[in-house]
Amino acid sequence: MNVYSLSALLAISLFGWSYIDTCHAFSIKEACISDLHLAFSQNQLTSRQLVEFYLGEISRLNPVLKSVIEINPDALLEADRADEERNDANESASSLSMLHGVPILLKDNIATKDKLNTTAGSFSLLGSVVPRDAGVVTKLRKAGAIVLGKASLSEWAHTRALKAPNGWSPRGGQGKNPYVLSVDPCGSSSGSAISVAANMVSVSIGTETRGSILCPASSNAVVGIKPTVGLTSRAGVIPVTSRQDTVGPIGRTVTDAVHVLDAIVGFDHNDAAATAAAAKFIPHGGYTQFLKVDGLNGKRIGIVRDPFFNFTNNPALAQAFEKHLQTLRLQGALLVDNVKIANLETILDFNLSGEASAVLAEFKITLNVYLKELVDSPVRTLSDIIIFNQKNPELEMLKEFGQDIFLAAEFTNGIGETELKALRNLSRLTRNGFVKLMKKYKLDALVTAGSSVAAVLAIGGFPAISVPAAYDKGVPIGTCFSGLKGSEPKLIEIAYGFEQATLIRKPPTFLP
């Protein structure tokens, strides 16, 4: 069946039972996971048809959007297997996991032990052989998800060069914002956000060290969840720093992102210390129980106006966000306005806070460990990659962007006095800043516009959810709800309540 007749079929069949669902989807294009789950269990759709649809959309749109680096050559095979498993399950098909048979894209820094490469967008890692699936991939496969391919990203999660553009990598090219092609899609999980936004896949996985899920989610009108550090395993993820790295879902709705979150959280013996420590945060029965329409009722939400609601030069956006704050109030939230984070300017400055100093040294250490554990690889150390770039200047666009961050990281020599001082600084800034504010006012969450709060959350390992909030001359901007470690249940209640009260997301319309 071709893409268009499948689309038409679903437009008709989904219309009939759309009332069952909270996602307001009437066609395959915006179909959410529960739509797909139902269509599968009622024999109205197969995973093969769905994968064929997405492969068609990728071949149509990717030449422009460049959000996918590689397609899994076994995706249709995996789909057939899912369809067989569903048939074998007979009447109990609806009891299969929500992700069963659902295609998912993985950011290209997440290892898969299959025909796909894992390269962080760099030619230097092409041909490297990973020891095993990343921890989150093992969990996704167990849930029955279909790995559709690898999403593009800012090369090396933006750790090579300050000048390198968001969403650009040598292997992937320049990822584009599907709402306004000339506008920054943000990064570094750019392809994960773009692909979901443009309906090239159902859901995706991104990673965040400092804004890399929240920012592209905001810029592409999708929902991104940045989990508490350790809630999801980082094993098999090309690292920046295990102190800040986290793996999280991107979806078109809060519900979809939460279904993926449910599948990927939990202990992994290859990231044992962090995932064991965070396991206490995982609620019995999973996260979907917090998808409550009245989720905002009674929540205490703080507002840091400057700089997070500073729209001095943009009255339209200022008005849109004031309306959203009013919506939060009308839905029963108590807003604690005009609160402050101590030393916020220092925290937001990568250099001044000590974050740069800590991350550079940690990056070299953890990347070298990742490279060393590869079964086979053309590069084994950061130094090898620097030399690869020097030897392949055209391929890696070295003249245009350089590799200043790589060089600065290579220059570090473990965690010494400077780094220890920086790390102590980061702990103190977090304790006296975000933590003190949240506790002083007994806040459930902080609400901010866009994603610039990401730096505050990064240094403390705190979670957040970005939800579509407005369009500024067609360019999406999200609103971000953040909280203390393990506060995902409350953040989900708040984000879902906000989403259902506003329903801002609309698919990009430039697309043919």
Ligand X SMILES: *[C@@H]1O[C@H](CO)[C@@H](O)[C@H](O)[C@H]1NC(C)=O
Measured from the CB of residue 55, what is the shortest distance to ligand X in angstroms? 13
Return the amino acid letter for 504: I
Residue 492 and residue 465 in contact, taking contact as beta carbons nearer than 8 Å: yes
Q: Is 408 exposed, middle or buried (0-12, 13-18, 19+ CB in 10 A)?
A: middle
Q: Which is nearer to ligand X, 30 or 349 (CB)?
A: 349
For residue 118, what are its two tokens?
């894992």
Cβ at position 167, least distance to ligand X in Å: 20
User: Which is nearer to ligand X, 5 or 313 (by Cβ)?
Assistant: 313
**Shortest reach from residue 419's CB to ligand X, in Å:** 9
Token representation of residue 54: 């997405």
- Among 61, 81, 64, residue whose Cα is nearest residue 3: 61
Torsion angle in degrees (nearest 10) through CA of 195, 216, 226, 311: -150
User: What stretch of H or E contains 501?
Assistant: helix 488-502
Q: Are 499 and 254 in contact (CB under 8 A)?
A: yes
Active site residue 212: yes
User: H/E element holding 167?
Assistant: none
Q: How far apart are CA 196 and CA 215, in angstroms?
A: 14
DSSP string, 400-457: HH--HHHHHHHT--SS-HHHHHHHHHHHHHHIIIIIHHHHHTT-SEEEEETTTTHHHH
For the bound state, the minimum distance from the C-beta of residue 356 to ligand X, rounded and expressed in Å, comes to 6
Nearest to 260 by CA among 247, 269, 270: 247
Q: Which is nearer to ligand X, 51 or 265 (CB)?
A: 51
Q: Of the listed 13, 67, 169, 212, which one is catalytic?
A: 212
Q: Which of 34, 67, 107, 482 is catalytic?
A: 107
Closest to ligand X by CB, 428 or 440: 428
Whole-number Å distance between alpha carbons of 90 and 326: 49
Q: List the one residue out of 464, 504, 450, 218 whose CA is nearest residue 314.
A: 450
Q: Tell me if residue 467 falls in helix, strand or coil.
A: strand
Q: How many whole angstroms separate alpha carbon 126 and alpha carbon 154? A: 16
SS3 190: helix
User: Are β-strands 464-472 and 475-482 bridged in parallel, bridged antiparallel, or unpaired?
Assistant: antiparallel
Nearest residue relative to ligand X (C-beta) = 354
- Is 150 one of the annotated active-site residues of the chain? no
Taking the alpha carbons at both ends of the chain, their separation in whole angstroms is 20
Among residues 359 and 492, whose Cβ is nearest to ligand X? 359
| Cβ–Cβ < 8 Å for 441, 339 | yes
CB of 358 or CB of 464, closer to ligand X: 358
CB closer to ligand X, 360 vs 470: 360
State the nearest-atom distance from the C-beta of 304 to ligand X, in Å. 11
Least CB distance to ligand X at residue 421 (A):
4
- Phi (first) and psi of residue 161, to 5 degrees: -145, 135
Write down the least CB distance from residue 347 to ligand X, Å.
9
**Residues making contact with ligand X (CB under 6 A):** 70, 73, 88-90, 115-117, 126-127, 162, 306, 310, 312-313, 343, 346, 349-352, 354, 356-357, 421-422, 425
* Least distance CB 458 / ligand X (angstroms): 14
Distance CA 452, CA 440 (A): 22
Whether 185 and 216 have beta carbons less than 8 Å apart is answered as yes
Task: Indicate the residue among 85 and 373 with the shorter CB distance to ligand X.
Answer: 85
- From CA 280, how far away is CA 488, in angstroms rounded? 12
Q: How far apart are CA 357 and CA 131, in angstroms?
A: 30
Residue closest to 253 by CA, chosen among 19, 17, 468, 28: 468
Catalytic residue among 188, 202, 218, 451: 188
Pick 88 or 394: Cβ nearer ligand X: 88
Active site residue 188: yes
Write out the catalytic residue numbers. 107, 188, 212
